[in-house]
């Protein structure tokens, strides 16, 4: 495995909380896993990424962080093809938790989830070039949809069935959009939809 340091002159990564200071709300550190593909582990099941090389980029301004910046990084690493960039849900494995960062909306969602308390962190992204092995489809990104997006997806259903349960809402989203969205993502969106239709409950 090769490790590339794109910013630090001493080829060492500094802990973000030390590098940026306690009041940082501007910068993050990016850890890029590249050079491989997602594949099944022979005899074990489940996905893995192999082979893997690591590249780091410090002092990434969160307001300027974009797919174009990630593409610039891998171009500097020597890749000539378009890259596909994935972020893994911390609560999921690679089989179901890989989210493709394919457009501006995905990065807006990422920005919105970097709370001030989480600025001094290192964020990992996986790279595939050529033909991707993981779906880059719209349903995959719905697992990371904002509460307002979930509200817009549920509003018609809630109008028709204002007493719908969380489980019923989940099954509706699964049947309509073909993806199982975590309950934790559905709850705030469902509350917004119920508020919009004027249905309040404890």
Question: Can you tell me the mean pLDDT for 136-155?
Answer: 71
What pLDDT score does 68 carry?
92
Question: Is 135 or 188 the better-scoring residue by pLDDT?
Answer: 188
How do strand 27-34 and strand 53-61 relate by DSSP bridges? antiparallel
19 vs 11, higher pLDDT: 19
Query: Which residues share a beta bridge with 47?
Result: 40
- Each residue's pLDDT tens digit, 14-23: 888 888 888 8
Q: What is the pLDDT of residues 29-57, one digit of tens each?
A: 999 999 999 887 654 456 788 888 999 99
Domain boundaries, the chain: 3-136, 147-196
* Cα Rg, the chain, nearest whole Å: 19
Per-residue pLDDT at 144 = 65
Q: List the structure tokens of 5.
A: 């340091």
Q: Alpha helix locations (H) across the chain?
A: 16-20, 67-76, 104-112, 138-142, 147-160, 166-177, 183-196
Residue 73: name the closest of 63, 83, 62, 64 by CA. 83
Residues 87-94, mean pLDDT to the nearest whole number: 73
Kindly indicate the confidence band of residue 72, based on its pLDDT and cuts at 50, 70 and 90: very high
CATH of range 3-136; options 3.30.1380.10, 3.50.40.10, 3.10.20.90, 3.30.70.1290: 3.10.20.90
**Where would I find the H helices in 38-165?**
67-76, 104-112, 138-142, 147-160
How many residues in the chain? 202
pLDDT at residue 146 in the model = 76
Is the pLDDT at 165 greater than 80? The verdict is yes
Q: Confidence class of residue 202 from pLDDT cuts 50, 70 and 90?
A: very low
Averaged pLDDT, 72-77 = 92
């Amino acid at each position: 495995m090769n490790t590339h340091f794109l910013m630090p002159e001493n080829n060492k990564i500094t802990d973000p909380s030390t590098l940026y200071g306690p009041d940082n709300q501007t910068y993050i550190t990016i850890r890029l896993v590249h050079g491989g593909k997602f594949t099944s582990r022979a005899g074990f099941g489940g996905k893995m990424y192999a082979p893997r090389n690591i590249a780091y980029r410090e002092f990434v301004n969160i307001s300027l962080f974009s797919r174009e910046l990630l593409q610039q990084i891998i171009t500097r690493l020597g890749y000539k093809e378009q890259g596909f960039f994935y972020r893994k849900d911390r609560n999921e494995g690679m089989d179901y938790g890989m989210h493709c960062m394919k457009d501006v909306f995905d990065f807006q969602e990422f920005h919105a989830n970097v709370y001030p308390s989480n600025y001094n962190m290192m964020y990992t992204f996986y790279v595939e070039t050529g033909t991707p092995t993981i779906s880059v489809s719209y349903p995959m990104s719905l697992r990371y949809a904002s509460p307002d997006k979930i509200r817009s997806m549920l509003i018609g259903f809630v109008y028709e069935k204002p007493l719908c349960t969380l489980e019923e809402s989940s099954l509706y989203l699964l049947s309509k959009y073909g993806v199982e969205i975590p309950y934790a993502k559905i709850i705030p969106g469902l509350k917004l939809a119920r508020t919009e239709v004027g249905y309040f409950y404890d």
